[in-house]
Amino acid sequence: MKIKHWMTKDPITVTPDTSAVEAQKIMKENKIRRLPVVQKGRLVGIITLRNLIEAAPSSATSLSIHELNYLIMQIKVKDLMKKNVLTLSPENTVLEAIALGTEKDIGAFPVVDDQGRLVGIVTETHISRAMMQLFGKDAKREIISLENVDLEAGTFGKIVAIIESCGATLLSMFSLPRRTTDLLRVYIRLKADKKNEVMAALQKAGYEIGD
């Protein structure tokens, strides 16, 4: 499963000289949280909603409202953006994106071609959709996710034993790393007729059921 099939192609971008106010407006209007920064067709950085919020002047400042407004209007994307951005190629796989995101604690990657031109952006949402595709059209009915699982020797065996004790048919199971912890999220796909019974048994065994 390659990134090029899941990324947002030709994403909305800003330039280094775009004002922070305009960048925030673009994010709000398009319901996005990050913008690649491009200059002369080349990626030079990325700006996030968090960058913009953290840059907002404190309400405790002694500046007047006019001084504050002036200060805010002078802030440019280039003053806040992250430079030396990690990127992916369209030929990278979804699993490679997951691994790199977990290692570097990054939730999104600009995608550039072999000429260094920005061609897309891939986020956690894209990756989640790609992984859910692996489960098929009945994923919502058939999947149970377990949060914060400590994957040690025998963990999967214990989970399988609980599933089988309920008389359920296990179709597939795999784990994904979490970005902010060493614990894992485990996805279980089974025939839906026993799903509620299996969920109750897993909870009783101390597993945390995800949304």
Looking at the fold, whether 122 and 175 belong to one and the same domain comes out as: no
| Residue linked to tokens 């067709």 | 41
Q: How far apart are CA 2 and CA 13, in angstroms?
A: 23
107 and 7: one domain?
yes
Looking at the structure, tell me whether residues 113 and 10 fall in a common domain. yes
Same domain membership, residue 159 and residue 118: no
Tell me, yes or no, whether 63 and 147 share the same domain: no
Q: Which amino acid is at 70?
A: Y
pLDDT in tens, 134-178: 665 566 678 888 988 887 888 889 999 999 999 998 988 888 776
> Domain containing 96: what range?
3-129
Copy the structure tokens of residue 6.
């899941």
Query: What letter represents residue 182's amino acid?
Result: D
Alpha carbon distance 101, 130 (integer Å): 15
The reply to whether the predicted model has a pTM over 0.85 is no
Pair 122, 146 in one domain: no
User: What CATH code is carried by the domain that includes residue 58?
Assistant: 3.10.580.10
List the one residue out of 158, 21, 168 whose CA is nearest residue 186. Answer: 158
Q: 17 and 112 share a domain? A: yes
Angle (deg, nearest 10), helices 65-74 and 20-30:
80
End residue of a domain, out of 129, 153, 180 = 129
Last residue of a domain, one of 100, 129, 158: 129
Residue type, 26: I
28-58: per-residue pLDDT in tens? 999 999 999 999 888 999 999 888 887 766 5
Tokens representing 85 are: 């951005």
- Please state the domain count of the chain: 2
- Domain check: are 91 and 185 in the same one? no
